[in-house]
Structure 1
């Protein structure tokens, strides 16, 4: 018998599923949902009773999401927040348990209904395994804590405590990983180490100091190692931010120095261009026999003036670059 089909049918207010169940199964459905019935009822009578309850529920849906199911009984048909997904084999049991606990707290689910809610959120395969460990005891008769214990035995990972602690202590901050992301990774690993509640924070502090990649951040943390974990984490993030800003400034300086070098190289190139141009002007006035110079050499003072003007322009450009740099710093 698949209770998920039953739960889905009541939630969606559909009754087609009733005709796929046998009499003994429908009696169990009536018992769970407080629908009056007896062993003397025929299969058709049971179907009619359940169908009538589903129709009544559909008609009497109210703003506060409570419906009259049978004489004097009520149950909540909708909840605050999104209904959690079914727990299936291979899913993370610890995550599911915490999510279900939060859902129960959010909706103020009564203790008498917690077990039923838990069972409805189990897949068919998981429900079968639960039945096998209950040893002929109806899971609905067990309280919520007992069901959680049995399911934890089946699906909670059996980790190696020593291996988990080794993995935790071996975790170092990766290249490009922020302090915040590094701490998130450490918190995820430390949950498997089974340290005491008070010991966990101390272990996180030690690993933060020893595993951080920057020597500067480690030095600052060691100076304040008597502080709480939260304060050390805030200090590490502050130093990390300061180092990042310093690296940005360093990159700007390198870029500006490259601009200055380019200007200096251009100065030399300009001088060479003027000189080569002058030499070319001299060579083109030799006659074919290359014996008689028919053009007088250009005035030497003119060449000096051209070179001086070129150098002056490059120097002015360099001064402007330095001036812009100082203006940005101010």
Structure 2
């Protein structure tokens, strides 16, 4: 069932789109262009693995491995830059792939079969507008992670190297444990709120041209009044794709495990097989991320319609005449061919 011909995104059901139709529409759009989505996932997987492999090789050859618990904290500090490089490249690659996926999904919602090039033209400039924010957030995330790990390892070293810690040392250890427990308890609810409120940041940057933190501000505004519905959609879609990815990765990995401690396993066909398996498993994980972007596009399209008054009247049948829909064209609305 689709919206009237003069409504935005005519290939989607009329708004308001209920929970079941949101997921069903996302699955339908995803299935229509599954080939290009699979290619996007493969590109993301290859770039991520190549960068991770290069950085890991540099780390193994340039950094001295810790010889005891007292050296772990210092080693984590040394790992901060390599981890940031991996995180930043992964974030930029994910953003590029997400923008292309959104462009393709938008085309499908307008009844168009956009190519990669056309989708890239529609979302042109997303990396420049929004990429620096992703890199900055990656840096903040790495700093917080490394800081927490340094705190943990420093406390662990104190416990393992001191037979009878002083009162101050014991207090520091207990304080570290307390901080970790509090952060763990706060991480889940705070994380869910932030993920939901900022979930439309990439669509706002790619499809509405918002820049920097303005994209997240736009997402915060768009999600107002839709928090619980978006949270439910994100959780269900995320759990669904996690389950599918886990099963698929288990099938791929079964029987193809290479023992890296065996010198004979590091040459010939076994090593090639290991590399292919890693790419496929990473691509399966990226495939789920691409699907999530299609889900978020359908959510975005529904909210976009609501803001412009294209809402089916309460009690009206699902199939209504086009003239029953108001169809204003506010300045922020992009026509379907604006990318040309």
Q: TM-score scaled to structure 1, two decimals?
A: 0.20
- Determine which structure has more spread, i.e. the larger CA radius of gyration: 1
User: Taking CA–CA contacts closer than 8 Å with sequence separation of 6 or more, which of the two structures ends up with the larger relative contact order?
Assistant: 2
Q: TM-score scaled to structure 2, two decimals?
A: 0.19
| More helix by percentage | 2
